[in-house]
Amino acid sequence: MIIIMKKNATEEEIKNIIKEIENKGFQALVTDGIERKVIGIKGDVSTIDSELFYKTGVEEVKRISRPYKLVSREFIPKDTVIDIEGIKIGGSNSPVIIAGPCAVESREQIIETAKAVKEAGAHILRGGAFKPRSNPYSFQGLKEVGLEYLKEAGEITGMPTDSEAVGESYVKLVSEYCSIIHIGARNGKSFELLKKAGKIGKQSRKPILLKRGENATVKEFLGAAEYIANEGCSDIILCLRGIRTYENKENGFQRYTPDLGSISVLKKKTHLPVIFDPSHAAGDREYVRSLCRGAIAMGADGLMVETHLDPDNAKSDAPQQVRPKTLQKIIEDVNLIYKKK
């Protein structure tokens, strides 16, 4: 339930509403709308009569039965801007480029890649240390040592870092090494992991990068973000990465179906920044550059592009990783498109 105050509502009237909410045993969350204050009630309010809150200063009381409220644009009309060690994402900030290999493969590889992506114009370094692979015999990542190397590469190049926490027990570890805690597509419905990410994100003041589940609707994706926000962590970056349809990556087709249209839908439904990952969507480096152009033209707040110095010999996701030279061209495209808008 959200209570929309009148434009000219006084502090006293706002306080009265908060008191009423707290007397009922709920928590009130006050946010600044564009012209007025909005007060959200946290928790299961299905048994509360909304008439209770029609007091002086109140414009409207809305019952929200959707699985998401805190992340909705109705609750917070203004765009959320997240500051990642000085890099701002969301709102009117220019697109943020997260680049780096699918996986950290060695100390030298991640340091050299970090230098190359920085040179190409990237802002944030990515690199998986724990890799969620469909095949248990495929390269699983360097684990904690990979996080150490990633951190070092970030420090050398002055870039914030992003790496995936594949399960509940990895969230704290990732928060200790990285600037961003990344939750992968396979975990969009791992609710205990999402709650843990929200808790650790709040404690460590580290943003969460949440990928859309490969089978998740946009509503379910926002529900997953709500699990994180409900733990008090409001710095969430939504990352689209393609969804499963009838596409099949064999023989030059795409790995997933790029969900570019969802950028507009998310921009309408949520205040959170939205970025796009063309690499996992296409599964083929040939399609990555044009998808990046599309995503920025659609209004994405950033991109996550898998980049490798020698993609053909990458230990994971070899076909989809671009070379730093292509990343540079992508960033040039991004700057042109962003300026034109």
The contact set with ligand PEP (CB under 6 A) reads: 102, 128, 132, 164, 184-185, 211, 241, 280
74 vs 317, which CB is nearer to Mn ion?
317
Instruction: Kindly report the length of the chain.
Output: 341
- Which of Mn ion, ligand PEP, none has residue 184 at its interface (CB below 5 to 8 Å by kind)? ligand PEP
304 vs 331, which CB is nearer to ligand PEP?
304
- Output the smallest distance, CB 268 to ligand PEP, in A: 23
241 vs 308, which CB is nearer to ligand PEP?
241
Q: Is 105 in the site for Mn ion (CB under 5 A)?
A: no
Burial annotation 130-152 (CB, 10 A radius, 16+ → b, else e): bbeeeeeeeebbbeeebbbbbbb
* Nearest position to ligand PEP, beta carbon: 184
As given in the structure block, the two tokens for residue 177 are: 């090494």
Structural contact between residues 57 and 5, judged by C-beta atoms closer than 8 angstroms: yes
- Output the smallest distance, CB 231 to ligand PEP, in A: 21
- Distance, in Å, from the CA atom of 75 to the CA atom of 182, rounded to the nearest integer, reads 25
- Distance, in Å, from the CA atom of 271 to the CA atom of 217, rounded to the nearest integer, reads 18
Exactly one of 317, 324, 331, 334 binds Mn ion (CB under 5 A); which one? 317
Q: Is 164 in the site for Mn ion (CB under 5 A)?
A: no
The dihedrals phi and psi of 226, each to the nearest 5 degrees, come to -65, -35
- Output the smallest distance, CB 280 to Mn ion, in A: 6
From residue 249, give the alpha-carbon distance in Å to each of 179, 194, 254: 32, 29, 5
- Output the smallest distance, CB 101 to ligand PEP, in A: 9
21 vs 102, which CB is nearer to ligand PEP?
102
3-state secondary structure of 136: coil
Binding segment for Mn ion (CB under 5 A), chosen from 23-31, 81-89, 104-112, 313-321, is: 313-321
- Residue whose C-alpha is closest to residue 89's, from 288, 295, 303: 303
- Output the smallest distance, CB 273 to ligand PEP, in A: 17
- Distance, in Å, from the CA atom of 40 to the CA atom of 31, rounded to the nearest integer, reads 8
As given in the structure block, the two tokens for residue 89 are: 């994402």
Site residues (vs Mn ion, CB under 5 A): 102, 317
